A and B are shown apart, each in its own frame.
Chain A
């Protein structure tokens, strides 16, 4: 930063968490349950230039897409602001995820055991990206109860990925999910990885 300016006021730093998963799995519900503000909605209008670019001719087709994201906020003292973004989990929104995942501390993948496949793209995405994530199985009333081990197996998750049950409507439950994610992300931080790989 330039040194000639007077010091800017001390501002809280933002920390970003993502809540992903299929349509109707409870993303917005969970954001609302833990957020200190009513969930807000923002739209990103993106021109995805990586789609349809022909390197040989230089001809470029722009695809403009608008994606709505629900988000909430949790103030952590006067130093940090935690932002939770409920993100659409469809593959065609991957470029939005790229935008959101940059700098994100971690992600919650919400799963519904009646439609488990809906969360596959999210799991794939965060695995590939290396974003720490946990899988939270939202327990809708009357849902057949699966063992968490079965879910883990079905999702082909690494053994270190936490899987837990939750009720997206309850703040206490959302809190537990977020705490599990923060702990997991901390254990996965680059420094911890280096310590673990020291020969």
Chain B
């Protein structure tokens, strides 16, 4: 058999890598320790806010309002003109308090099962 290193080998090696946790996000002394959100983690508001909640800042309320429809971290950051890192921390607060649900992106290992492949291909063709 072929004993040379192929791109496939490199990929499997990469898949075994532990995700690197870079505690780069600081918001008022809080680090993003509540689990990482990818730029394309999708959030949606599941409990509506009145604005009178204790412990929620105006930025939290803005996110809760934006996420009445599902939005990615990157989109929230762009709409609010905030760095994505800050959005991650704020989203962590909202998640902890039960205001939002999040959907992590497909893990790399099975991102392209056949069903996903067909759906994406059909979606692109229909563009």
CA distance A67 to B20 in the complex (A): 19
Least CB separation from A49: chain B residue = B22
Tell which of B8, B101, B123, B124 touches A188, judged by Cβ atoms closer than 8 Å.
B8
Contact among B14, B83, B105 with A130 in the assembled complex (CB-CB below 8 Å)? B14
Answer yes or no: B1 CB below 8 A from chain A CBs.
Answer: yes
A-B pairs with beta carbons under 8 A, tally: 176
Task: Provide the main secondary structure of the chain A interface.
Answer: mixed
| Segment at the B interface, from A9-17, A22-30, A134-142 | A9-17
Chain B residues within an 8 Å CB radius of A98: 20
Task: Tell me the B103-118 residues at the A interface (CB within 8 Å).
Answer: 103, 105-109, 111-112, 116-117
Contact of B52 with A by CB under 8 A: no
9 A-B pairs closest in CB distance: A130-B11, A76-B123, A14-B40, A40-B78, A11-B103, A8-B101, A47-B24, A130-B10, A193-B8
Q: Other than A15-B105, A15-B120, A83-B72, give 8 A-B pairs with Cβ distance below 8 A.
A: A13-B106, A45-B24, A66-B83, A81-B70, A81-B72, A85-B39, A130-B12, A179-B121
Chain B contact residues, CB within 8 Å of chain A? 1, 7-15, 19-20, 22-24, 38-42, 44, 46, 70, 72, 74-75, 77-79, 83-85, 101-103, 105-109, 111-112, 116-117, 119-125, 127
> Which residues of A approach B to under 8 Å, CB–CB?
8-9, 11-16, 34, 40-50, 64, 66, 69, 71, 73-77, 79-83, 85, 98-100, 102-105, 127-131, 158, 160, 171, 175, 178-179, 182-183, 185-186, 188-190, 193, 196-197, 199
